Amino acid sequence: MNVTPQHMDIMAECTACGEKREFLKKSLPQGLQHAEVSDVEKRLKCASCGAKAGKLRFGSYCDD
C-alpha cells in the first residue's frame, strides 16, 4: 500500500452488494501501512451488508 502514489484515488467496492466508498490509506492501522493490496482486501468488511468481499480499485474517480 505504501507504494501507491499520493495523488491516486482509492475506491473500496463490495463485490457482494455493489456498495462503493472512498478508501483512505491513512485510515489503515500502522501494521498494514506496508502490506500488499491482497492482504488489505482480505480484511475489508462492507459497512452496508457486512460481507467480507471487498476489492480496492485504483485510479481517478468522479461523481456523476
Q: What is the pLDDT of residues 10-47, one digit of tens each?
A: 999 999 999 999 998 888 888 888 899 999 999 999 99
pLDDT greater than 60 at residue 60: yes
Q: What is the pLDDT confidence band of residue 49, given thresholds at 50, 70 and 90?
A: very high
What's the Cα-to-Cα distance from 44 to each of 1, 7, 36, 40, 63, rounded to whole Å? 14, 22, 13, 7, 23
Looking at residue 62, its pLDDT comes to 64
Q: What is the pLDDT confidence band of residue 4, given thresholds at 50, 70 and 90?
A: confident
10 and 4 Cβ atoms separated by less than 8 Å: yes
Which comes out higher in pLDDT, residue 51 or 32? 51
